[in-house]
């Protein structure tokens, strides 16, 4: 499968920036080849063969389609497939939980004499952002936009959240924590499959993860070892 990754990198990094002139050139080449094949009589011979032996010709055509269609659907179709997920931020959830707790405490508190303010309820430790970053695509083709936050939801418990997020889709994509600030590196920690190409959603960071070791979040195609996006962390 590594060869597909190399081919994808060639197409996206080397050829994609020149897609318009390359497409025009390819159309002209195909048209010229078609005219040449017609003048040489190849198309006439091919059609005559198909009429004389329709069964073998049909079997060959079906076999080719049976290989190319599933392969194209797996490799190419995801690049243009979009999806969206919107999850509540741990920051909003913590705020809502705290307000609800304070409301319950106020209702349960004994009444106070007129003119005396009740003692405010003690607030629990709130979720807080400890680092953040901005998503950047790996190249012109593999775009990535939005923010990433590392949120401490409780002492020693962390969540990675992406917001206003959009990324080029692809097969077998994961969100990972990387030791490198500029992309994937061995030792990266897998947080989970990419939930959607657009939106805002959360990933629990495994307990015991030493966040000092990791410098970025990445969108990584595990099947073909291709980087789609990187967000370097900056401490808040």
Q: Per-residue confidence of the chain (236 residues) as pLDDT tens digits?
A: 567 677 776 777 666 676 678 788 888 888 888 888 888 888 788 778 778 888 877 887 788 878 877 766 665 666 678 999 999 999 986 555 555 555 555 566 555 555 544 444 333 457 899 999 999 999 989 999 999 999 999 999 999 999 999 999 988 999 999 999 999 999 999 999 999 999 999 999 999 999 999 999 999 999 889 999 999 999 98
The pTM is what?
A: 0.69
In eight-state DSSP terms, residue 179 is S
What are the structural domain ranges in the chain?
A: 2-80, 84-106+122-235
Taking the CA atoms of 172, 173, 175 and 176 in sequence, report the sign of the dihedral they define. positive
Domain boundaries 84-106+122-235, corresponding CATH code: 2.60.40
Contact 131, 151 (CB under 8 A): no
Tokens matching residue 159 = 């969540």
Residue 164: which of 130, 201, 193, 139 has the closest Cα?
A: 201
């Amino acid at each position: 499968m590594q060869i597909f990754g190399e081919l994808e990198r060639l197409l996206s990094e080397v050829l994609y920036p020149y897609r318009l002139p390359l497409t025009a050139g390819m159309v002209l080449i195909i048209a010229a080849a078609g005219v040449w094949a017609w003048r040489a009589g190849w198309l006439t011979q091919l059609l005559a063969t198909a009429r004389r032996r329709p069964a073998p010709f049909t079997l060959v055509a079906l076999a080719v389609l049976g290989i190319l269609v599933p392969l194209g659907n797996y490799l190419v179709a995801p690049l243009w497939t979009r999806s969206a997920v919107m999850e509540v931020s741990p920051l909003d959830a913590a705020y809502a939980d705290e307000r609800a707790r304070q409301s319950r405490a106020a209702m349960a508190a004994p009444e106070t004499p007129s003119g005396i303010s009740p003692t405010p309820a003690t607030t629990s430790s709130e979720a807080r952002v400890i680092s953040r970053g901005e998503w950047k695509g790996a190249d012109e083709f593999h775009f990535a936009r939005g923010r990433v936050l590392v949120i401490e939801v409780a002492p020693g418990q962390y969540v990675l959240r992406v917001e206003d997020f959009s990324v080029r889709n692809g097969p077998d994509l994961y969100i990972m924590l990387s030791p490198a600030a500029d992309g994937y590196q061995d030792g990266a920690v897998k947080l989970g499959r990419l939930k959607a190409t657009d939106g805002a959603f959360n990933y629990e960071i495994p307990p015991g993860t030493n966040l000092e070791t990791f410098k970025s979040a990445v969108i990584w195609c595990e099947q073909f070892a291709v980087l789609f996006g990187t967000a370097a962390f900056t401490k808040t």
